[in-house]
Chain A
Amino acid sequence: MTALAPPLETPKPQRRRRSRGGRDAWPLVLPALLPVMLFSVYPLVYGVLLGFTDAEAGLGVETRFNGLENYVELAGNGLFWNSFKIGLVWACSVTVLQFLASLGLALLLNLDLRLRWLARTLALIPWAMPPVIIAIMWQLMLNPNYGPVNRTMDALGLPGGINWLGEASIALPVVIVVGVWAGMPQTTVTLLAGLQAVPAELGEAAAIDGASTWRRFWHVTLPALRPILIAITTLDLIWNFNSFALVFVLTAGGPGGTTMLPSLFAYNEAFRYGNFGYAAAMGNVMVVLIGAFLFFYLRGQMRRRLQ
C-alpha cells in the first residue's frame, strides 16, 4: 500500500472529552478494529508461526512444527541469499536515486517557474498508475526492436539492438531506473510539502549574512527537512524492499534470476512449489534483517540529529 510519510512530530496537546473516557469510543471503533484483528493481525501472527513448520500446499497434508529446520536449510540456500542481496541492491539504489531525483524536482517545483503546474501534474501521474501498467509501459519503451529507447540510440549512432530487460548484466540497473520513475511522485510530494514548511525567513537571514545558495541549502534547508527526509527514505526503503508487482511483470525475476527480488523468490517457493512453511521462514528472515537494518539506520540518523 502506498502512503505518505507519517509525521515525525510530538503529539500536540489537545482538548479532549476526557470525562467520557474510552467507553463511548468502543462501539465506534470496534467495527474497524475487529476485521483488522481477524484478517490482518491474526494472519500475520499465524504467518510468523508457519515459518517454524513444514506446512505445504495441498489437501490432507499434515503440518507439524519443525523448530529451526527451515532456517538451517535456508542458511545453506545460496539462491535465497543471492536473491536477498539483489533485494538489498535494488531497495537501496532505488531509494537513494529516487530521493536525489525527487529532492531536485521538489526544489525546482518550490520556485516560481513558469509551467510549474504542468510539471507538478506530470510528477503525480505515475502515482495513479497501477504498477502492472507501469511495467507494461516500460516493456514497450525498452522493446529491443521497436522501442523508442533503442531507436533513439540508433539515431544517435550508439550501439543498437540492446535487449535491456533480457541481458543478465544490465537487467537489474534497468529495472532500478523503472523503479525510480514509478516511486518519484510520493517522494517528491512529501519533500515539497517539507520544503514549503521551511520558514522563508531562515533562508533570507542567511542570504543577508552572505551565505551562498549552496551553503544555504546545506546549512538551512536540509537540516529543516531532516525529519521528513528520514521518514520518507525509511518508508521508501521498506516499500522498495517489499515491492513485487513491478518487477514481477517486468522481468518475472529473469534473466537468469538477476532481478529475482526476495518477494518474488518467496512467492515462487510458496505458490509454485507449495512450500508454505519454508516460504514463511524466508519472510521471517527478511523481516528480522530489514528490521535490524532500519534500526541501525534510524539510530544513526537520530544521533546525527542530536549532535
Chain B
Amino acid sequence: MTTRTRTAGRRPIARPLQYLALAAYMCFLAFPLVFLLTTAFKTPRELRSPDAGLLPQQLNLDNFTSAIDKADLYTAAGNSLLVAVTTTAVVTAVSLPAAYALVRFRTRLRAFATGWILVSQVFPFILIIIPLFLLLKDIGLVNTLLGLVLVYAVWALPFSLWMLQGYVAAIPVELEEAGAVDGAGRLKTLVKIVLPLLAPGLVATSLFTFINSWNEFFFALVLIQDPEMQTLPLALARFVGAEGQVQLGQLAAAALLACLPSLVFFLLIQKRLTAGLLSGAVKG
C-alpha cells in the first residue's frame, strides 16, 4: 500500500480526482489509436460525410486489400521481416557470449561498451550516415538488405550487450561454481545452468532488437532507393506522399497492418518486457 492511498482514505475527494486524471490520460493516449482502427474500416463515402460517427457502419475490409496492392506492402513487409529477423539473430548470437565475458571476466571493455552507447546517442545521425553510405557504396552494399542488416546489427549491438550484461550479472557466480564442483565442464555449465536462467532476459533483449529494426526509418531512407528493396516504414512514408492524402482509409489500413506484428509481440510479452527492461537497467 502506498502512502498516497492512505491520504485518499483520509480525504475522499482525492480518489475521484485521481480517476478523472487517469481517464484524461487514457483518452489522450488511446484516442488516436481507436481513431486509426476505426478509420481503417470506413468507406471513402463514410469518411467524407460530415455527420459520420466514430465507429464504422460495417466492417469493410476494402481498405486493407487495396492498401496491400497499392503500397507494395507484401514486398515491403517481407523485406522488413527478413531484415528484422536476421538482425535479431545475428545480434543475439554475437552479444550473448560477449555480455557473458564482459561480466564474468574483469575487462575494460565493459566501460567501453557503456561509453559507446552514450557517445553514439549524442552524435547526430547525419555524422554517421554519410560515411556509412560512402563505406557501403564502396563495398557494394548500398541498396541491399544485407547492408541494412549490417547497419542495424552494429547499432543494436552495444545496447543489446548492455541489457544482457545486466541479466548475466544477476545470476550468482556460485551457481556456476557449484556446477564446476559437480564436475560439469565449462560449456556444460553454460548450457545447462546459465542459459536457462538467462532465457527471459534473452527474450526481452531480442524482441527489443526486433522492434527497433522493424521500426527503423532513417538509415533505410538513405541506404535503400530501389522500391523492390524498401522496408515497411519506407513504403508507408512513400505512400503518404503519393496517394495517402486522398485515400485516408487505405492509409489507416496500411499503417495498422504495418504495426500489427510489433504490437502483437509487444502486448504478448508486455509484462515480461517491462520487468526485463527494468531489471536490465537497474542491475549494473
Contact = CB atoms under 8 A, between A and B. Distances in A.
Contacts of B36: 137, 140
A128 B262 contact: yes
B217 A22 contact: no
Residue with the highest number of chain B CB atoms closer than 10 Å, among A9, A40, A148:
A40
Nearest to A286: B124
A94 to B, nearest CB: 15
B131 interface: yes
Given A6-B114, A9-B284, A105-B25, A294 B126 contact: no
Q: Helix, strand, loop or mixed for chain A's interface? A: helix
Contacts of B232: 130
Interface string B213-235: 01111100110000000001100
A28 B101 contact: yes
Interface string A266-278: 1100110000100
Given A32-B98, A35-B153, A249-B237, A25 B25 contact: no
Contact of B277 (A41, A108, A112, A189): A189
Contacts of B251: 136, 140
B202 interface: no
Residue from B4, B14, B120, B263 with most neighbouring chain A CB atoms (10 Å):
B4
Contact of B22 (A17, A20, A43, A115): A115
Contacts of A139: 240
30 contacts: A9-B284, A12-B284, A14-B169, A16-B105, A16-B173, A24-B101, A25-B107, A29-B97, A39-B150, A43-B128, A101-B25, A112-B1, A112-B5, A113-B18, A121-B270, A130-B216, A131-B215, A131-B217, A136-B251, A137-B255, A138-B32, A140-B248, A141-B32, A143-B248, A190-B281, A203-B3, A270-B129, A279-B126, A283-B127, A286-B126
A144 to B, nearest CB: 11
- Residue of B8, B14, B28 contacting most chain A CB atoms (<10 Å): B28
A234 to B, nearest CB: 10
A204 B7 CA distance: 10
Interface in B94-131: 94-95, 97-98, 100-109, 114, 116-118, 120-131
Contact of B150 (A35, A123, A127, A263): A35
A43 B135 contact: yes
Contacts of A112: 1-2, 5
B191 interface: no
Interface in A2-24: 2-7, 9, 11-12, 14-18, 20-22, 24
A263 B124 contact: yes
Contacts of A148: 31, 35, 54
Interface stretch (A71-79, A168-176, A235-243): A235-243
Nearest to B105: A25
Nearest to B34: A148
A130 to B, nearest CB: 4
Nearest to A20: B105
Nearest to A128: B266
Contacts of A16: 103-106, 173
A158 interface: no
Interface in B239-284: 240, 244, 248, 251-252, 255, 258-259, 262-263, 265-267, 270, 274, 277-278, 280-282, 284
A44 interface: yes
B6 A207 contact: yes
A110 interface: yes
B41 interface: no
B36 to A, nearest CB: 5
Interface in B129-163: 129-132, 134-135, 150-151, 153-159, 161-162
Q: Which of A107, A133, A280 counts the most chain B CB atoms within 10 A?
A: A133
A290 interface: yes
A96 interface: no
A156 interface: no
B26 A122 contact: yes
B26 A35 contact: no
B125 A29 contact: no
A238 B5 contact: no
Interface in B9-29: 14, 18-19, 21-22, 25-26, 28-29
A139 B248 CA distance: 10
